[in-house]
Amino acid sequence: MKALIVDDEPLARAYLRQLLEDQGVTVLGEAESATQALQLNEDLQPEILFLDIQMPGLTGLQLAAALRQSCPHVLLIFVTGYSEHALAAFEHAALDYLVKPVASVRLAQTLERARARLASNTPEAEIELPAAPLKRLPIRQDYSVLLPRVEEVRSAVAQDKRVIVYLADGEYKTYYTLSQLERLLPAELFLRVHDSCILNLEAVEELLYLGSHSYGVRLRGGQQLPVSRTRFAVLQEKLGVTPR
């Protein structure tokens, strides 16, 4: 197994690294912050992450939320001195929750579960309890993770092999696919109106009839998006508009 350790305490990282290597785990790297972990996770592609919870800046739970959206197949294991966060950890589909100082025998049990999970090739999110409705959409930036409320998202548009998420204060390149966002964003508020875009129904200001069975929509802020012929009727229904 290939692992990444995320903890702001160097001694804690060194201790856990030794335990993992003694049990045959390859430690690809160590991160001292959530933002560094996001970059290393993308660069190194570990199978399993060991996360502390209390860290400067973003917490381990916030990091888990970002990872769960962007790479749901990675296994998450929390290693922390704060047992009161266990429930929250499992709400983020954690594989396990270890309390410091970690015992070698307890870690071996966790690694056995991780190996079984990886061998089954079953994403953690598919076997845990249903996730709570998404309230914030993690968007990774160079040195931070933006966490806008989902209702602040006006649209998401596929462009040049990336998906751009549009908020009131600007546009942000993300690592999501439109299919992922279609599943993540609440269906009562968002609609995929074209192969290339999803929009927030509350942001719609004008429906556009462009002729030759072509349609579009203008959103708050002036953004104009295409709407496919088959989805235009659905959009009208969602907005309570009588088809003309």
- Domains of the chain in start order, with CATH, are 2-126 (3.40.50.2300), 139-239 (2.40.50.1020)
What are the tens digits of pLDDT across the range 136-175? 787 876 656 688 889 999 999 999 888 999 999 999 998 7
Q: How confident is the model at residue 128 (pLDDT cuts 50, 70, 90)?
A: very low
Task: Find the helix or strand (DSSP H, E) in which 236 lies.
Answer: helix 229-239
Q: How confident is the model at residue 101 (pLDDT cuts 50, 70, 90)?
A: confident
Question: Would strands 162-167 and 96-99 be described as parallel, antiparallel, or unpaired?
Answer: unpaired
Quickly list H helices, 4-121: 10-22, 34-44, 60-70, 86-91, 104-120
Please give the structure tokens belonging to residue 9. 């305490």
Q: How confident is the model at residue 65 (pLDDT cuts 50, 70, 90)?
A: confident
Mean pLDDT along residues 98-125: 82
**What pLDDT is stored for residue 222 in this prediction?**
95
Distances (CA, A) of 214 to 94, 197, 229: 46, 15, 7
Rg (CA), the chain: 21
Q: Is 34 exposed, middle or buried (0-12, 13-18, 19+ CB in 10 A)?
A: buried
**pLDDT above 90: residue 100:** no
